[in-house]
Amino acid sequence: MIQESPMQPSLASTALPPDMIDKALSPVQQAYQYILNGILSGELTAGMRIPTESVAEVLGISRTPVRDALRRLEGDGAVMISANRGAAVAKYSRAEVAQLIEMRAVLEGLAARCALPNIGTVELDELMHLNSKMKLASTSLSTWMAAHDAFHNYLTSLSRRPLLARQTEKMRLMLLPYYRDYYNQSLEMEILGLEHEKLISAIEFKDATHLEQIVRQHAMANVDKVAILAESDHDHFKN
């Protein structure tokens, strides 16, 4: 059994309401989405334990699918599981966060370059639609972040390279708590102005090298400000 720290709130009392989870999903998918929503909403922060029993009780499912969901999230890099502490939201050092952002920038730039030949009118319209959803969600951080990731995941999917898309999505999940803290503290949900309009314009320009450069610059924006929200390298490795 995973023991909850007395210094931390219970997941059952803080996470998003279970009625927001699609009951048509399998129990494993329900638990996966519920925990991910908790991270996205900020109720689950880096290093916070995730009590299996609480998740199972709130969702009305057994503990087995919750454990399966946690193992899946561990594979995604969003959760860490240890024999002594159980499951907790993954926690990375400042250097590790900076490295993850650098890696994501390179891979997303490559994905955009590969996607460009596959982007026609239909795909461009969808990117514009996803960008509009971001604008409409500007008053809700968690909704905006979900729309933001949907935009980038869709663009990456157009590369038609599933392994590349999987790796970029995984790094987004690993960085989720840190970007959420950054946006929450800075109130900058759109860095340096009309960033996504720049990406769409670069796509319309049909220059793969230029698009790759724009995507990399977008991913690297404020890397130091995001990384500093992580635990210092000395404290991280000491723990």
pLDDT-based confidence at 7, cuts 50/70/90? very low
Separation of alpha carbons 191 and 205, rounded Å = 22
Q: What angle do helix axes 195-205 and 208-220 make, rounded to 10 degrees?
A: 170
CA distance to 119, 149, 209, per residue, from 212 (Å)? 14, 18, 5
118 versus 231: which is more confidently predicted? 118
pLDDT for the residue 164 = 96
**What integer pLDDT is reported at residue 4 of this predicted model?**
34
Residue in the block written with tokens 């909403």? 41
Cα separation, 84 vs 69, in Å, equals 19
Q: CA quadruple 39, 190, 219, 234: dihedral positive or negative?
A: negative
Rounded to 5 degrees, what are φ and ψ at 79? -135, 145
Handedness of CA 157, 162, 168, 172 (dihedral sign): positive
Q: Alpha carbon 135 to chain centroid distance?
A: 18
Q: What sections of the chain are H helices per DSSP?
A: 11-14, 27-41, 52-59, 63-75, 94-115, 121-136, 141-157, 162-186, 195-205, 208-220, 223-227, 233-238
Strand-pair partners of 80: 88
Q: Is the pLDDT of residue 36 over 80?
A: yes
Quick one: pLDDT at residue 142? 87
| Winning range, highest mean pLDDT, from 2-6, 133-137, 206-210 | 206-210
Average pLDDT over residues 217-230: 92
CA distance 57 to 200: 44
Q: What is the pLDDT of residue 1?
A: 30
pLDDT band at 237 (very low <50, low <70, confident <90, very high): very low
Task: Report the candidate in 38, 31, 28 with the shortest Cα–Cα distance to residue 8.
Answer: 38
Q: What is the pTM of this model?
A: 0.82
Residue pair 236/230 in contact by the 8 Å Cβ criterion:
yes
Q: Residue 52: its pLDDT value, please?
A: 93
Report yes or no: 8 and 48 within 8 Å, Cβ to Cβ.
Answer: yes
- 130-185 confidence digits (pLDDT tens): 999 988 887 888 888 889 999 999 999 999 999 999 999 999 999 999 999 998 88
- Tens of pLDDT, residue by residue over 89-138, are 999 999 999 999 999 999 999 999 999 999 999 999 999 999 999 888 87
pLDDT for 141 equals: 87
The pLDDT mean for the chain works out to 87
The Cβ of residue 49 has, within 10 Å, a number of other Cβ atoms equal to: 18
pLDDT of residue 84: 82
Give the pair of three-digit tokens for residue 239. Answer: 């723990």
pLDDT value at residue 12: 40
> In whole angstroms, what is the distance from residue 135 CA to residue 138 CA?
5
- At 7, list the tokens: 């210094």
